[in-house]
Chain A
Amino acid sequence: DAKTTQPNSMESNEEEPVHLPCNHSTISGTDYIHWYRQLPSQGPEYVIHGLTSNVNNRMASLAIAEDRKSSTLILHRATLRDAAVYYCILRDSGGGADGLTFGKGTHLIIQP
């Protein structure tokens, strides 16, 4: 899978929007952009994924740059429960049963 780059940590205040960036300059045309998060002492949890268009679900929004070399996960109104490590992962739709490749992710800190 192509490589992604994320900031090590970010801090935000409760009830404010959070924008988590991810760079993936070597993304291929068949790569989907997935986001997972891992809350303290829990297993990773799927958040959202997309290919080219922006995506919304009940948890978050995913904004994908026009050239697809970067994307941003948007939490519209952060709560203390959103404090977690967020991982941006590329998945090749061309196949492969490989596991998800988790990098270091972004440690999101939410201040009350």
Chain B
Amino acid sequence: EAQVTQNPRYLITVTGKKLTVTCSQNMNHEYMSWYRQDPGLGLRQIYYSMNVEVTDKGDVPEGYKVSRKEKRNFPLILESPSPNQTSLYFCASSLLGLAATYEQYFGPGTRLTVT
């Protein structure tokens, strides 16, 4: 089954403790992206990757890192989480990033709470 998976689905952590949220897709998609969703603010893009070893900042990259060493994986790293990073995070992938005709597939989400 074609899908985007994220782990963990739920995470409660403390300020400053490094964490990684994993994202994996099995559709051989070139483009992958991370979003955060906050009440009243909609989904905002954090980082995206056009292909292996190619990443770039989205609208809200501060406090986050990503890497794309393999085509299928795109982990989101919070080196020193803070309470304002408490949010619902979605990973997404698409066959090609520059083509407006391709849909994005989203993972189920990771709910992160930083205390």
Contact = CB atoms under 8 A, between A and B. Distances in A.
Interface of A: 30-32, 34, 41-46, 49, 91-104
List the 8 closest A-B pairs by CB distance, nearest first.
Answer: A99-B45, A43-B106, A46-B103, A91-B100, A93-B100, A97-B97, A102-B43, A102-B42
Nearest to B48: A97
Contacts of B42: 101-104
B104 interface: yes
Given A49-B101, A104-B42, A97 B50 contact: yes
B100 A92 contact: yes
Contacts of B97: 97
A94 B92 CA distance: 21
* Interface class of chain B by DSSP: strand
B64 interface: no
Contact of B59 (A49, A92, A99): A99
13 contacts: A32-B100, A42-B109, A44-B43, A44-B92, A45-B106, A91-B100, A93-B99, A93-B100, A97-B98, A99-B33, A99-B48, A102-B43, A104-B42
Contacts of A34: 100, 103
A53 B31 CA distance: 27
A44 B58 CA distance: 18
Contacts of A93: 99-101
Given A43-B92, A99-B44, 8 more contacts: A32-B100, A46-B103, A93-B100, A97-B50, A99-B43, A99-B48, A99-B92, A101-B42
